[in-house]
Structure 1
């Protein structure tokens, strides 16, 4: 039986192996200098035993394009050649014998990729998309294991699909956490005391032996699941920024790094747009109370952000998160008035299509729902089929071009003057939807995409400076 992310594994991992799990994002393994910096991070702390890597920067974008329908053979060949260049630009810095062996492995994998891409262009499927998208991590993990060896770290490649078993919900597979814990004890723990293992984020394998993916940003989540299964003492997420900031520093130069933050606050930030963490990443860490560190692989000496259960201070305002490309769906029907069961029908349709609602507000005869519907997804989440089924129940309107702004903090459901502090600051902006009171850690609202940066900048200046 597959366990949802919120379930608790009954299998107790090995308690004697003191270790940390380190995860490196795409920019951290983008080229040889970046990989070498990461290798030294691993070497400098002997607690680092398991390394989880994303695909090298740029590779996933190529694979997303390759996984789409109606790609010409010429474009397929161009994309695969571009991926090969990215990877061989790294392997050329290794010794000639290692380079030659690695290049042979890379070419074999790219031959398999070419076959999948050709099949995908002829008969598109989500299952084949997952198989295609998995190649990025398979390539980078093999290379990084050799980079570790080049600086005298006993590193070895490990295929995460041996332990990361999932259901067959391609594109957003659910991991069987109990099976993961069992498999990690059997296959990983005996090896980790002897060597550093390098494995893949984002991917798994279903009961049919088919490749699955955990969804966008799933590499962080993979690392957290592995840390939980191994009962690790720490999980380090290495990226290209020095920790978590009070808001996106690309929006305002006044954004500042946060030294420590609670699990609850960080989870809200991740859920509502802070791209430094995948929304589900903290769930496994919270279940085992595993501290999570977020830092820059480019500047490890500058430290980063510690995420843990208890922190020294709990300010009213901790950060502002922004999530773009939101879709607002409003369903309206007089049948809602003094009637029971209408909402159950609406959510029944959404559940059938595996759709998750982020925010919801209701009135007498209408309900407004928000969905995350990013343009770089391999499949549209809110399809015309979903809308048509909803239209059989009620009047439906769909709005795109919106952004979700989330003010993150503590006691926001009960602190006095919250609404005044926030909304008077941005009284020149049209607010499309407000969601407040369900959580002590956030107040959320929708604005037009064109107003989003302006809103975040003004709020940050008012609340944090």
Structure 2
């Protein structure tokens, strides 16, 4: 199975029958593409998330259920309503109704995760049917049989060794016989309860399965032709990148490149599995290859932006010439499952950035009142919001003279709340107001990539 390719298609790529048909052609064009991982059809997850919200009126709940059903039935209609697929979709839609009603009585995170998982179940059943319609032997496979996680509902942690063992037992033999379509974003804990990996987790799922199967490549098919030097909507002259290293791609994913989920690269790095990012709408345009080694390593590779950031300022005189304050702070954050992005310190202050987009699958903020109260017991806490993190991604940034000058001359008109540079040779990060982020990105791109 060493030549196996895992292809992942996002929500816009499987939004309707025409989109699924295009993606099926991409799969069939490569005989090594044996495993297909799909997201829910575009819009479905958002509708399911709304169904999980408290105090949802029954009239709105019924409307949401109809909208979800409409998306599935339009695809079924194009397929000619094959009996086995139609029965499967009807069963899943009925399950959505039952689960959403249960949530009105019991605000249970396990129920929420099972509800959110139904979108991927629908799209995988439909995509497998599209492949069969084109004459291919294909079937849908419930990823919960192999994607083992812990029981942290909404943001479950995969159990790497168990996933590898289960894939060897249950998935690898099937791939020898036919193409398999499975779900991203979801898994199951030891008790068999459905879990989710957090929003954007389908990319991660594909990479985890590729790692477990020792695949040769992971293909991430989305609505853009690869990774660009920055978001083309912010800088019209942004250009596509043909090849980048794992380190650069990991930095870009972490600091806001929406083409990739931040965790996607990690399983690929562990097994040195190359990753391709391309457009399912226009596959002929090529895309970006992410590899362990690349031929060119420029100082400046890209500018990324991550919005909706929170700056947590902690002040305590206990920090002055003392030990243990940071250890206690990070232990508190760890207990609340909070991951810190950037950190700066002074004698009596520490500032941390938290990514609010790193919420759980239902969109609930991780910066809870309980966390703030616990932190307040040993320091003064100030929270700043409506911030954006802008990152310059490249190589040898920390050891190349002149990098800071070229960046800071662009930043002069702007109020910078935090600067982080030196921890990694691949990035220089600044925290600015959300309202100024687009202007900062555009100016940095012009100065670093477009200047003669």
- Indicate whether the TM-score tops 0.5: yes
1:401-446 per-position Cα deviation (integer Å, ceiling 9, x unaligned): 0000011000011111111100111211100001110000011110
1:93 matched to 2:93: no
Look up the match of 1:102: 85
1:177 matched to 2:153: no
Look up the match of 2:94: 111
**Candidates 300, 304, 320, aligned match of 2:287:** 304
Question: Partners of 2:362 and 2:152 in 1: how far apart?
Answer: 15
Deviates more, 1:124-133 or 1:24-33: 124-133
Question: Partners of 2:212 and 2:39 in 1: how far apart?
Answer: 19
Cα contact 2:244–2:289 (8 A) shared by 1: yes
1:133 matched to 2:131: no
Question: Partners of 1:39 and 1:371 in 2: how far apart?
Answer: 39
Shift in alpha-carbon separation, 1:114–1:39, aligned structure 2, 3 A: same
Question: Partners of 1:313 and 1:450 in 2: how far apart?
Answer: 34
Q: Which runs of 5+ in 2 are unaligned?
A: none
1:123 positional shift: 2.1
Cα contact 1:32–1:93 (8 A) shared by 2: yes
Aligned with 1:261: secondary structure? strand
Look up the match of 2:64: 79
Look up the match of 1:386: 371
Question: Partners of 2:281 and 2:179 in 1: how far apart?
Answer: 21
Cα contact 1:72–1:121 (8 A) shared by 2: no
Question: Partners of 1:183 and 1:424 in 2: how far apart?
Answer: 54
Question: Partners of 2:131 and 2:256 in 1: how far apart?
Answer: 33
Aligned with 1:156: secondary structure? strand
Aligned with 1:92: secondary structure? helix
Look up the match of 2:263: 280
Look up the match of 1:340: 323
Look up the match of 2:41: 56
1:112 positional shift: 1.1
Question: Partners of 1:313 and 1:232 in 2: how far apart?
Answer: 25
1:102 positional shift: 2.3
1:130-187 per-position Cα deviation (integer Å, ceiling 9, x unaligned): 1111011000000000000111111111000000011101111111111111111111
**Candidates 421, 430, 437, aligned match of 1:436:** 421
Aligned with 1:131: secondary structure? helix
Q: TM-score, normalised by structure 1?
A: 0.95
Look up the match of 1:12: none
Question: Partners of 2:80 and 2:111 in 1: how far apart?
Answer: 35
Look up the match of 2:447: 462
Deviates more, 1:343-352 or 1:398-407: 343-352
Look up the match of 1:39: 24
1:242 matched to 2:225: yes
Aligned with 1:198: secondary structure? strand
Cα contact 1:245–1:256 (8 A) shared by 2: yes
Question: Partners of 1:378 and 1:119 in 2: how far apart?
Answer: 19
Question: Partners of 1:199 and 1:225 in 2: how far apart?
Answer: 13
Deviates more, 1:21-30 or 1:119-128: 119-128
**Candidates 118, 143, 148, aligned match of 1:160:** 143
Aligned length: 448
Cα contact 2:272–2:292 (8 A) shared by 1: yes
Look up the match of 1:25: 10
Indicate the RMSD between aligned Cα atoms, in angstroms.
1.1
Cα contact 1:68–1:378 (8 A) shared by 2: no
Q: Which runs of 5+ in 1 are unaligned?
A: 1-15
1:367 matched to 2:350: yes
Deviates more, 1:68-77 or 1:276-285: 68-77
> Within 5 Å, which residues of 2 pair with 1:391-410?
391-410=376-395
1:379 positional shift: 1.5
Look up the match of 1:223: 206
Question: Partners of 2:415 and 2:226 in 1: how far apart?
Answer: 32
1:143 matched to 2:156: no
Question: Partners of 2:41 and 2:73 in 1: how far apart?
Answer: 12
1:377 positional shift: 5.0
Q: TM-score, normalised by structure 2?
A: 0.97
Question: Partners of 2:84 and 2:362 in 1: how far apart?
Answer: 34
Cα contact 1:17–1:193 (8 A) shared by 2: no
1:265-321 per-position Cα deviation (integer Å, ceiling 9, x unaligned): 000000010011111111111111111000000111111000001111000000011
1:70 matched to 2:58: no
Cα contact 1:68–1:124 (8 A) shared by 2: no
Question: Partners of 2:115 and 2:424 in 1: how far apart?
Answer: 39
1:17 positional shift: 4.6
